[in-house]
Amino acid sequence: MNKTVVYLDHAATTPVDPRVVEAMQPYWSQVYGNTSSIHAVGRAALKALEDARQTVAGILSCHPTEIVFTSCGTESDNLAVRGAAWKSQGKGHIITTPTEHHAVGATVEQLHEKFGYETTLVSVDEYGRVNPDDIARAIRPDTMLISVMYANNEIGTIQPLAEIGRIAKAKNVAFHTDAVQAGGALDLNVDRLGVDLLALSAHKFYGPKGVGVLYIRRGTELTPALTGGGHERGRRPGTVNVAEIVGLATALKLAQQSRESENDRVSRLRDKLVAGVLDKVPDVRLTGHPTERLPNNASLAFKGMDGESIMLALDLEGICVSTGSACTTGETEPSFVLKAMGLPDEWAIGSVRMTLGHATSEADIEHVLGVLPGVIEQLRANRRPVV
């Protein structure tokens, strides 16, 4: 008898929607031209590229020329943060938070340590949320960039972007957000959010891996990270990946069309999962904001436990989860996100992230709630203290 497999790691990646696969299919071997070629085959590819750009721009409520296609969310974040810094010619001050994805955090750290940019990390509260007033107080005359993620990849906490955006605009400071986790679940209207730079990655919303977006508001100047041809209006050189860009646009359109109904469905399942775990397992707590969080995110901390041991034990039971974030899995140190929130090590080391998706069913949640308490009980009976 085959073991039931329950995939609860949609924050790490999602399966490609069959409708997205179908939309991409012609651009592998039929409409295969280089978008820079001026002949008919190239023009057909260029039309597909610009149609995709128009679709994405419509969802973000921006002009198509403000959309730049990249290889992933990490590249988009790097182009935004590093590009803004380089444009300032080695001078300037950057504001961010200690809970950013490494695509932003490591980039800001490198700019500080290797290139001398001054940085301020604005602290977050116990839920991982930043206070916009603290951002305002951190702004200096030489501040040239604020970078605050839309929703955290580990705990799901949603940041008050619109408030920060109003502050940034009043002070004439560029405002970047890593919206990679928000793409399929939250409003992406860049004017309502008040952002000048916004990064997305297709594989987080049932699109293909290897393609992303950076929105760049007109008037926001960046120095490109790459040099080469004039692709993407000179902002991101390199032969354009038409098939996957079509996939990204299709996936984003589908995700946003079903956003409200899917958010309602998945949040009800998430709430059932969280309530069940809190009821059935002692010494466990929800991490992240209780209400201002992604609808599919259940981030939990088990006191005195090792999150990796829980993850591996659940994997043996056919339940796929993560500990910390997927990009940092394997580290033995407590989650830097939970540490920044002030969570003690005895809790932070035992972090487990469960993120639901389109295929997650009521039966899946029941199955997890039937398995998890026994797994925790057995691990606790056999454990050695982790702190």
* Full strand arrangement of the beta sheet holding 93-96: 67-70, 212-216, 197-201, 174-178, 143-147, 93-96, 118-121
C-alpha of 36 from chain center: 31
Q: Which of 340, 343, 339, 337 is nearest to 325 (CA)?
A: 337
In degrees and rounded to multiples of 5, residue 201 shows phi and psi of -140, 130
Q: Which residue has the tokens 């049932």?
A: 206
In three-state secondary structure terms, 241 is coil
Q: Which helix (H) or strand (E) holds 56?
A: helix 40-60
The one catalytic residue among 62, 72, 320, 327:
327
Interatomic CA distance for residues 178 and 108, integer angstroms: 13
Contact 220, 197 (CB under 8 A): yes
Contact 24, 48 (CB under 8 A): no
HSE at residue 76, side-chain half, CA atoms within 13 A, is 28
**What does the block give as tokens for 324?**
């910390």
**What does the block give as tokens for 62?**
């921006």
H-type alpha helices, the chain: 18-24, 26-29, 40-60, 73-87, 102-115, 132-138, 161-170, 190-193, 242-257, 259-280, 307-316, 336-340, 345-348, 362-382
Interatomic CA distance for residues 253 and 205, integer angstroms: 10
**Identity at 194, one-letter amino acid code:** G
Assess whether 320 carries a catalytic annotation. no
As annotated, the active-site residues are 327
